[in-house]
Every structure is written in structure tokens, then in C-alpha cells.
Amino acid sequence: MKPKTISTQIPVPSRLQGTDGVRREIKLAKDSECKGQTPIQVFLEKGWITEEFMELYAYCYVKNQPRNKSTSSNNKTIVIGWDPRDPSGVFTEAVVRGVRKAGGKALVLGVVPTPLVPLFMLHEGADGGIMVTASHNPKDQNGIKLFLPFHGVKPLPADDAELTQNLLKQNFVAIKKASIKGGKTDCRQKALELFRHFSLLPENSWIESRATLKNLTLVVDPACGSLAGIAAQIFREAGVGKVYEVNKSGAVNLRSGVADLEGCPRITADMILKPGSRFHRHKAVVKLFEIGRANQESAKSGKKRIAAAIFDADGDRFFRLEYDPFQDTLWVLSGDETAILQARHLVYHNKHSGSLYINTVESDLNASTSAKSMGLSPLLTAVGDKWILLKIRLALLEQKLVTAKLAKKKSTQLKNKIKPLQKNGVTSVNALLDLDALISEAPDTTKNEVLTVGSEETGHNITTGYLTLPNKKKMQVYSGNGLKSALNTFAATEQLALTLPPEKYIRSIRQPFPPGFKSTLYTYYIRQDLFCRDSQVWAKVKRLLLQTAKQNGYSGKTRNFPDDPDMLYISLAEGKVGVFVRNSGTENKISVNLRGRKSDASKLKKIGLEIHKLLFSLLKDPDNALYKMELYALSQIASQPVTDEKLEVKNQYRLRLIDEMKKQNLIQSSPEGNRLTPLGKWYILH
């Protein structure tokens, strides 16, 4: 699709959305820097999301919903939830207003975890769902995730493109003046009770009795987000021996939550000791060491297990921390490790032989190998839990076709429709709706489980959930659900603890599969539009990647992922090694991702460094305000170490900038303050 233009003639992409909806740094429409511009212009030209954009987006989402026989355009019900990053309510109220101006009835949940929005939507038979959140992003950003009534799936690229075109056609001045048409109902308590019941149901939690988790002492970190107060209470009701909650309120995702743990498989005591240490001010990490040491002997004897459940601000991601009393250290279990632990538990109960283990290209390649050794069927997807959900839905449709009593000719025709979708990808949910309608005669039962686990390394784990509808009918539901993943993981490992000596238990869960080599190199504050399939930058990166791979003894070939055509994925060593470069769909950054065997580490680091430097050279955006701050901050650090507090940067950006410079490996902490890394020294000279 050709880019559209708006009145300023700036190019507009076919989709405004990224990996999961829209997400940007927030600005108020009344800000002087936004004056005289439409919400779309501010979004595109400035890279900001205003409350007016949110109102417009919600309005168009309702108007863009397909009409059906039972629902007119003026009585669609839309479930709306949000995380706590907007205490003023300016942005969340704008979303509710947009829904109601479009004629929709707003079922308002307030501050709730993301998975509750599609769950409540399906329970109530609503026409759509909106979650106002920027997920794991910093507090100065916000956004919108959307859910569709077809099994709670997320919009696919063609759906996003259709919504984008609808947005571009609107006259916001007229919408701003429009009157409220739809109603509004506070459904918070009803929704929270549904979430509690769903979470504690044994077939969803996998917890057989309240005694299952009695020996577990748990630190809960909701990242000052949607699960604050909710997760801790559900853990208590599930029978966890002792529960300590930290980071209940404050700035979301700041020195809390899963994002701080990414790329760190182990946390040692020296990482919390001194100011400037990576986890010195991470409350969950500090608290877990404190509790672990106080109960070290009980943990060594196996009487207690000390762990933490770490979430992100909107509650769809989960990492586990495990205190090791034998080494006085913490083991970090990402989505890969927790998924394998869950899979092993399910396979042990003989329910899932041959079923799917789905993960994304970000995962450790050895996770899939481990799943295959359990008798599962590994399947690799592009980044984003919506692609995992899509693969699940296609597999369920295929199974439904097998159980349907259809004429042989029709059955063959439908199989021939499903196969190309599985191979070439699906761009619109309408394709799934059409297929589902054609095989509607099938009984709504399944003989064998289709899915074991769907997993993202970043902490989205998806397993089958069971929802009881008001008519008492049960339906299978699938979504990234941090709390369900946590309950499932702890239920799985407590079963292990009953059969293994304490030290062997720790070894079995800290690395549930032999880890490969995994590294991700980030570049922030960039021109993301320059890196797309077959662009000049894309071609240069591909050329250098293949060249450096060859210099290091690899032969490589490009692997295409229809779900993410702009990702550059080079498969090396006959698929045992992968290097891929992709724009983030949630932040202004690009990453070089290195995946392989431990023996490939040194070679992959060399390849990664060359590509990383090239991206710094080609993509940094000189007009980006944070890029300018980054250069100024680095110039201060170049001459001498500088502490966080003494770095001359605007207060509201200081912590974010320091964190993102560290993620780019430009600076590192030292007792004296922040220092340049070798890459940082190279960067300021080029």
C-alpha cells in the first residue's frame, strides 16, 4: 500500500501501529509545541501521543468495527481498562469519550491487568476491548492495545492498515465538538471478581490444593502497575505460605518490573551492594536477598523455597527470581525458562504429546530443542504475542476441521485454504472469521490439546485457559497473562520440589534446558523508517552481516517471516545459529539479536559489534531531542566519571536517558560514577 499524505505532505505509513497497537511519549494537546497541529500530525511529526489522538483512535476503532445483525452502529459495547501511569485521567477519559462519541457503550474497568480486558470482553459478549497502556515502557509514554471479539485476538497488519486509513479520513475538529451518544457503566468490581475466579480455578492455576504452595515464600513486584494489590492477594488465596509485596505505587517500570531484568540471567550479591550497582535500588531484588538470607538454612533443608514474581506495568509479562541458598545468588527465569518448566509439567501429565510449543525469534534456540526432546512440535514466529495467538488459532481451526462432519470435497477445499495461511501468514482477522464460519458445524470440543505453551522470551507466556460464560458454557481462552504464567510456573516447580533434594531442585529450575548463547544489542533515538525491507540501509546491513559471518566461518541464508517482512533474519550453521535485525514495534529503537550455541559466542559477538556500529552510523536521528541529550551527556562523561545526580540533563529525562545509554552499552556504572565503555568511546569519535 502506498503511503498516504496529510495536509503537511509528510509521508504517512500504511500502518501507524507497531508490534502491539500504538505507543509514544505523551504530550498534552494544549502544549505550545502541539499548537496548530492535528493529533495525527503531532503523532507523526513529533513522535508524541496526545489525549486528542487517543480520543480519535478510540472513536475510529468503534466506527471501524464490523456491523452484525444483532448490533447497530450505536450500541456496540467496548470494554476499557488501563494501567496506573495516567493518575490525572486525562488520557483514559479521552479514550472513554472517544468510544461514547462514536455511539459505543463503555464498560469501564479502571486500573486492571491487560489480560482481563479480553477476558471480560468474551465473558460479556462485548464488541471490542481497549487497554490504555505503554506496557513495559517508561512512565512518560502511553498507548493503546486493541482486542477483537473473535476469541479476543489482536488486530493483524491489514486490520491496523484499515484503522489507519479510517483515522486519516476523520475531521478531528468535528469529532471534538461532537456530543456524547453512548452510555457508560462501571464494571470494575464485576471484572475483578471474574479475574480472581478465573485465576484460582484449578484447571487454570494448576494448583491442586491450598497446601501445594504452603512452603513458598514469595516477593511480588507489580512494577507499580495494574497488578498492584491484585496479584499479591490472589497468591495468598492460592495458598502461598508468605507473600511480600513491593513497588505497589509510584512511577511504573522504574527500578522495578521485568524490563530491568532483561539480559541478566543471574544477580549476584555485589550487584546490590553499592550505589551505582545495577540493582542497588531495585526493591524486589533487594527484598528477595534480605528474605533469602534470613531463611537460608530453611531453604537449604528444603523446608522453604524463596522466590519472586516480577511483572510489568500492565501485567501481561512475568519473570521469576529464585533465591539460591547454596550460592547466595538470584537466578533470573525469563519467558524461555518459565515456558519450559510449564511444558515439562504438562507433558508429565500426558496431555500434550505432539502439541505445539510456539516461541518467537527472540528466544534461546535451545528452548525449542528442549521442547522437541519432550515430544512437542516446536514452531517459530515473528516477535509479538499476537503472532503466537494467530498460530494457536490456525491450529485450532485445523483441529476443528478434522472433527467436523463435512463432505470430503468441502473438507479438502478448507484444508487447501488453511495451508497457505499457515505458510504465508495471515494479514487480517477476517480470514480467520471466514474460515471459522465455513466449518461452524464442528462440535466445540477437542480430543487432543493443540497447544502446550506459547512463549516470548520477554515474559509473555500463553497456555490454555478455561472461561465459564454466563450461560454456564465453557470456552478455551488464550492471552498473555503474567499472573496465570506465575501461578502455573510455581505449581509446576512445587511438584518438582516434592521429588528432588533441595540443591538438585535449584539446579533443575535455574536452567531447565542447556542454555545457548543469547545477546541483544540496542540502538535508540533513530530513524526507524530508514530500515525496511530492501531499503538502502537494510541492504547495507544485510551485506555487512553476510560478509562478517563469512569472515567468521559461517555460511548464511536469509529466512523470511511473512508476519514481519521488514525483519532481516540470517540463518547460519544450518539453523543452529541466527542473527536478526529488527525495528522495535513498541519503542524508538532497533536491535541486533544474536542467538546460537555457547561455542558460537565469541564469533557472534564480533559479528554483532560490527552491525551495531553500522546502525549507530546510519540510523541515529539528529533531530531527536533525546539523541541531542545523549550526545551532551556523553560529552560530560567523556572527560571524567559522572554520577547520575550530577549529570546535566533535564530531570524528567535523566533516569530514562541513563538507562537507555546503558542498554546501548555506551556507558557503565563504576564506584566513581558513569564511565564510557569502549563502544561509547568509539561512538563519540565517529
pLDDT digits (tens, 9 = 90+) for 475-502: 999 999 999 999 999 999 999 999 999 9
Strand partners, 569: 580
What does pTM read for this prediction?
0.93
Residue 5 binned pLDDT confidence (cut-offs 50, 70, 90): very low
Which pLDDT belongs to residue 411?
Answer: 83
* Domains observed in the chain: 4-186 (3.40.120.10), 201-334+484-510 (3.40.120.10), 353-457 (no CATH), 518-685 (3.30.310.50)
pLDDT 10s digits, 553-585: 999 999 999 999 999 999 999 999 999 999 999
- Report the 3 state secondary structure along 401-465: HHHCCCCHHHHHHHHHHHHHHHHHCCCCHHHHHHHHHHCCCCCCCCCCCCEEEEECCCCCEECCE
Range of weakest confidence among 216-225, 385-394, 403-412, 593-602: 403-412
Q: Is 588's pLDDT higher than 90? A: yes
Cα(665)–Cα(673) distance, integer angstroms:
15
Report whether 383 contacts 361 (CB < 8 A).
Answer: yes
Residue 422 binned pLDDT confidence (cut-offs 50, 70, 90): confident
Residue type, 666: L
Per-chain mean pLDDT for the chain? 94
Cα(344)–Cα(350) distance, integer angstroms:
10
Residue 415 binned pLDDT confidence (cut-offs 50, 70, 90): confident
Average pLDDT rounded to a whole number, residues 422-445: 81
pLDDT 10s digits, 618-663: 999 999 999 999 999 999 999 999 999 999 999 889 999 999 999 9
Cα(73)–Cα(65) distance, integer angstroms:
8
Which pLDDT belongs to residue 6?
Answer: 56
Which pLDDT belongs to residue 608?
Answer: 98
Residues 370, 373, 377, 379: what is their CA dihedral angle, to the nearest 10 degrees?
A: 30
Average pLDDT rounded to a whole number, residues 207-215: 96
Which pLDDT belongs to residue 441?
Answer: 57
Helix, strand, coil percentages in the chain from 3-state DSSP, rounded to 5: 40, 20, 35
Which pLDDT belongs to residue 208?
Answer: 93
Cα(36)–Cα(57) distance, integer angstroms:
19
Report whether 529 contacts 255 (CB < 8 A).
Answer: no
Q: Concatenated DSSP letters for 555-607? A: -EEE---TTSTT-EEEEEGGGTEEEEEEE-SSSSEEEEEEEE-GGGHHHHHHH
Q: Is 9's pLDDT higher than 70? A: no
Average pLDDT rounded to a whole number, residues 137-160: 96
Residue 361, SS3? coil
pLDDT 10s digits, 25-77: 999 999 999 999 999 999 999 999 999 999 999 999 999 886 554 555 578 99
Cα(154)–Cα(135) distance, integer angstroms:
15
β-strand pairing of 141-147 with 128-132: antiparallel
Residue 491, SS3? helix
Tally of residues, the chain: 686
Which set of grid coordinates corresponds to residue 207?
A: 494448583
Range of weakest confidence among 304-308, 320-324, 530-534, 584-588: 584-588
Edge-first strand listing for the sheet containing 451-455: 377-381, 356-360, 451-455, 461-462
Q: Concatenated DSSP letters for 229-243? A: THHHHHHHHTT-SEE
More confident residue, 466 or 421: 466
